[in-house]
Structure 1
Amino acid sequence: MNIASLDLEPLRIPFRVSFKHASAERNVTQSFLVIARSEEGMTGYGEGCPRDYVTGETDTSVIVFFERHRADLVARVTDFSTLKEWIRAHEQDIDKNPAAWCALELALLDLLARHNRQSVEGLLGLPPLAGPFVYSAVLGATDAKSFAGTLESYRKVGMRDYKIKLSGDADRDGGNLAVLRSAGIAPARVRADANNLWSDPGVARDYLKSLDYPFAAIEEPLRPGQFADLALLAGSLATRIVLDESITRENQLAKLPGEPGQWIVNLRVSKMGGLLRSLAVANRCRDKGLALVVGAQVGETSLLTRAALVVAQAARDVVIAQEGAFGTLLLEYDPAQPSLMFGTKGELDVDSLRFDHSPGFGLTPMPGLVDKSRHEGSCS
């Protein structure tokens, strides 16, 4: 296979509702789309979500990375083997630009699999997807009235697992926890995400204890990488710690102190630097006895949801929760069809979608996608 072109387009899709947490509030996607075309007439698509507070990436850094490597990728990548060789040769640059590389890698995997007339799972030597996949409800750091309304919507469809965002405002967080209590939600089904609210572990401990709520796990209460302090916090709160911003590469897992049972890794394909790296992290977590959440950036489209399904399937034995799959429940439109969304009980049943009989990731771009994205500007 020969690559004819690689193009980069911004994805700026309005949300149906805004979403707020301690690090950001957004009402539109902040993603990039890569379109890879072959001389043989095939097209592949990939998505990446740069977040400066997660990986240090910006829109500008994504464009710079793409332009730096576009010509070399077109010249060198002809099959899965040469793609892996390119990744090994550029490991350090990918470390610094994981979301930018994610968009490129997913597009190239999609293209290669389509060229071979096989699914991405087939290209990677993995079993075909088999559902259902069960997703957690995610509740933002809103006022209690809005929180209660969102919770009721989730309960109506039978969602069973919940993740709530903490704001650091005792009245707001306490009010939202009161809503959970009054709804009869078992704390064992509730994870909290603090989005790196505190740098002082003592302040974090005192605040979380003041909430008087036995969360099943607490995600990123401290600044990224404060592993020793996080281990002490897990002990003092008798809970597990979910690592998100603190783990963006496989080699960081070696820094975790203490027992593996106190840690859960939130594995998001974009921040990990693509699907191949995500699978490697999942395998290393299994080897180390670490549990996984297969997570998602707010505003991911079905392109990244589909990629995350590969990881969730491959690591089912260590995955305790999945996040994402909001599709057009959150987005005004989804650039790929079918739009992958959870339904009743938070389940996404992929069996009827027959991805094993569809080349690549098995998704079709919506008509006029490129024109829609170019309305906001592009790099091509």
Structure 2
Amino acid sequence: MPIKRLSIEPLKIPFKQAFVHASAVRTETESVLVTVTNANSVEGIGEGCPRRYVTGETVDSIRRFIEVHREQWMTVTTIQQLRDWATEHTPIIDHNPAAWCAIETACLDLFGKEAGLPIEALLGLPPLRGQFQYLAVLGTDSHQSFAKQFQRYLSVGFTDFKVKVTGRLQDDIDKLTQLASTEDSTIRVRLDANNLWRDTESALSYLKRLPGRLTAIEEPLQVGDYDGCRLLARELKVPIILDESFLRLDQFASIQNDPLSTWVINIRVSKMGGILRSLAVAKRAKEVGIPIIIGAQVGETSVLTRAALTVANSYRDILLAQEGAFGTHLLEQDICKPPLMFGQSGLLDPTVVSERAGLGLVNSKATS
């Protein structure tokens, strides 16, 4: 059934606590909600999180992208037509991945509801089963705030931590010393530097002075510095996680011939350009033996949390960790009711959405 209405709404939901890292300070969401509606008033919803420092996108650029192509999408009624449009417009999507993510996700949600199928069944993927384990993210807050947040995570059973690097050596030493001092041997720590260093020598000198055992380091150098990251991986004997440096399938050409211990790919559905492109990257990663993390932009709502579950569920065998699913742990309110988010020990039970049509979410903005 053709799409009768397509709307876009910027989302600016306040955070309960500011989130700070090397590339940005965030106090509210920066994303868009796309709603597509058919002639029977059935709605599909999608979300995109533009990040200028990741994909070059903004809320305004998403608006422009949608206005330019809106009429073409109004006649899309099948997944194959959606795939065909994406294939024919690959270069355009490469420059507007978060925008396309919002459109694609909304259409898949709508098509699933029209067919009475969860999106996994719609796409011929395994149904959602079992729980999903999420990691805790510690930002570049003050030492006191960091300590309080860390203890809060420990008290509810988290053992996997992503720590944002500040670039202030003593601060980072103090924070990692605190993590290293815990007696729990199951705790895992990886760093996220958000492209902090401009040269390998500076990064190597800094990182070698940090205490504790690290399981991986994310984006230590400038975007696309694969050679420098290879050297860091070799010298530090930990894999490098590619996030801002990996947005498209064709970038496998730069990394697929390296030793398997060199890389991990952080697949964030929004920056990749939607569920289908994320699935394609995960498929190729499995073929060449590179593990993945299913990541998230800070401030995602339940919509992108649900989209990411489709990818994580299909590639559990190469999945090292999952990020996101903060819901109202971070947001003052979510757009879905109930919000899809992790609980005790960072575990998320997908039962509430796994059998429902489309994404299985209830848009509280539409029902309020």
Q: 1:187 to 1:220 in 2, by over 3 A?
A: farther
Which residue number corresponds to residue 85 of structure 1?
84
Which residue number corresponds to residue 258 of structure 2?
258
What CA deviation, in whole Å up to 9, does each residue of 1:53-112 have, x standing for no partner? Answer: 11111122111111111111113x111111111111111100000001100110010011
In the alignment, structure 1 residue 339 sits paired with structure 2 residue 339: yes
RMSD (Å) for aligned C-alpha atoms? 1.4
Question: In structure 2, the residue corresponding to 1:261 is in which secondary structure?
Answer: coil
- Larger mean CA deviation between 248-257 and 285-294 belongs to 248-257
Written as runs of structure 1 = structure 2, the 5 A alignment for 1:242-253 is 242-253=241-252
What CA deviation, in whole Å up to 9, does each residue of 1:136-185 have, x standing for no partner? Answer: 01100112211110011111110111110001101211111122123335
Which residue number corresponds to residue 378 of structure 1?
none
**Which AA in structure 2 matches 1:365?**
N
Task: Give me the TM-score of the superposition, normalised by structure 1.
Answer: 0.94
Question: In structure 2, the residue corresponding to 1:147 is in which secondary structure?
Answer: helix
In the alignment, structure 1 residue 366 sits paired with structure 2 residue 364: yes
Question: In structure 1, the residue corresponding to 2:299 is in which secondary structure?
Answer: coil
Question: In structure 2, the residue corresponding to 1:46 is in which secondary structure?
Answer: strand
Question: In structure 2, the residue corresponding to 1:180 is in which secondary structure?
Answer: helix
**Which AA in structure 1 matches 2:34?**
V
Flag as ranges the 4+ runs of structure 1 deviating above 4 A. 185-188
Question: In structure 2, the residue corresponding to 1:334 is in which secondary structure?
Answer: coil
**Which AA in structure 2 matches 1:244?**
D
Written as runs of structure 1 = structure 2, the 5 A alignment for 1:164-183 is 164-183=163-182
Distance 2:43 2:128 in 1: 22
Question: In structure 1, the residue corresponding to 2:171 is in which secondary structure?
Answer: helix
Do the aligned residues in 2 keep the contact of 1:269 with 1:308 (CA within 8 Å)? yes
Which residue number corresponds to residue 207 of structure 1?
206
Distance 2:51 2:353 in 1: 33
What CA deviation, in whole Å up to 9, does each residue of 1:238-264 have, x standing for no partner? Answer: 111000000001110111152122100
Distance 1:25 1:68 in 2: 31
**Which AA in structure 2 matches 1:366?**
S
Task: Give me the TM-score of the superposition, normalised by structure 2.
Answer: 0.97
Which residue number corresponds to residue 295 of structure 2?
295
**Which AA in structure 2 matches 1:335?**
I
- Larger mean CA deviation between 84-93 and 295-304 belongs to 84-93
What CA deviation, in whole Å up to 9, does each residue of 1:16-45 have, x standing for no partner? Answer: 000000000101000000000011321000
Distance 1:305 1:282 in 2: 17
Distance 2:318 2:353 in 1: 25
**Which AA in structure 2 matches 1:359?**
A
Distance 2:85 2:51 in 1: 24
Gaps of 5+ in 1: 372-380
Q: 1:367 to 1:225 in 2, by over 3 A?
A: closer
Gaps of 5+ in 2: none
Distance 2:115 2:46 in 1: 18
Question: In structure 2, the residue corresponding to 1:155 is in which secondary structure?
Answer: helix
Do the aligned residues in 1 keep the contact of 2:176 with 2:211 (CA within 8 Å)? no
**Which AA in structure 2 matches 1:98?**
P
Distance 1:126 1:239 in 2: 32
Which residue number corresponds to residue 110 of structure 2?
111
Which residue number corresponds to residue 142 of structure 2?
143
Distance 1:350 1:103 in 2: 21
Which residue number corresponds to residue 228 of structure 2?
229
**Which AA in structure 1 matches 2:359?**
F
In the alignment, structure 1 residue 184 sits paired with structure 2 residue 183: yes
Which residue number corresponds to residue 44 of structure 2?
44
Distance 2:327 2:217 in 1: 26
Do the aligned residues in 2 keep the contact of 1:142 with 1:172 (CA within 8 Å)? no
Written as runs of structure 1 = structure 2, the 5 A alignment for 1:18-57 is 18-57=18-57
Do the aligned residues in 2 keep the contact of 1:187 with 1:215 (CA within 8 Å)? no
Identity %: 49
**What number of residue pairs does the alignment pair up?**
367
Which residue number corresponds to residue 376 of structure 1?
none
Which residue number corresponds to residue 313 of structure 2?
313
Question: In structure 1, the residue corresponding to 2:247 is in which secondary structure?
Answer: coil
**Which AA in structure 2 matches 1:364?**
V
What is the Cα deviation at residue 344 of structure 1? 1.3
**Which AA in structure 1 matches 2:363?**
P
**Which AA in structure 1 matches 2:275?**
L
Question: In structure 1, the residue corresponding to 2:46 is in which secondary structure?
Answer: strand
Distance 2:353 2:264 in 1: 31
Question: In structure 1, the residue corresponding to 2:45 is in which secondary structure?
Answer: strand
Question: In structure 1, the residue corresponding to 2:341 is in which secondary structure?
Answer: coil
Do the aligned residues in 1 keep the contact of 2:177 with 2:211 (CA within 8 Å)? no
What is the Cα deviation at residue 117 of structure 1? 1.1
Which residue number corresponds to residue 375 of structure 1?
none
Distance 2:209 2:177 in 1: 13
**Which AA in structure 1 matches 2:357?**
P
Do the aligned residues in 1 keep the contact of 2:180 with 2:211 (CA within 8 Å)? no
Question: In structure 1, the residue corresponding to 2:201 is in which secondary structure?
Answer: helix
What is the Cα deviation at residue 212 of structure 1? 3.5
Distance 2:341 2:59 in 1: 27
Distance 2:186 2:220 in 1: 18
Do the aligned residues in 1 keep the contact of 2:159 with 2:186 (CA within 8 Å)? no
Distance 1:165 1:104 in 2: 31
